Structure 1
Amino acid sequence: MTDIVVPQGQWEPDQEAALATWLYGEGEAVQEGVTVAEIMVEKTSFEIPAPASGALSILVAEDEIVTPGQVIGSIK
């Protein structure tokens, strides 16, 4: 199992970030490097790529506030 982690150092620590959308559903197969989620910080979005190939497991729902380094899902 490989964790999907919110990237660190891409926005100011005092800015609020939210998980905008998952591009794949729970249990769907994804390929390493493909964008699986988007984080929204103010009016800028950041793509989160799959760190490995496998089945997606979602731990954080869309629109929830996230922090840098937080695990939001995993690849099994």
Structure 2
Amino acid sequence: MVRRLGTLVSDGVEIVTLLALNDQGAPRFDRHMAQELVDLSIPSFACTPKLFPDLMGAVLNGRNIRQWAATHDIVTAPDN
């Protein structure tokens, strides 16, 4: 899976990994896998349902997802 994701990234595909979508925005994830995604420059984090439409808008409009997350006080993996 990680190899395929790496190929997609190198082909220019924008990938965002949503670790959880719940009101608490509390992620549960494999830290090793999250680190592999970060090594591929794939943002990985949790999001609340309220912020999800804005997240999708940011992705579709080509905004920097790490900056978007920071604006909403969301920590991206592997720091969370």
TM-score (norm 2): 0.28
Structure with bigger helix share is 2
Q: Highest CA radius of gyration, 1 or 2?
A: 2
TM-score (norm 1): 0.29
**Larger RCO: Structure 1 or Structure 2 (Cα < 8 Å, ≥ 6 residues apart)?**
1
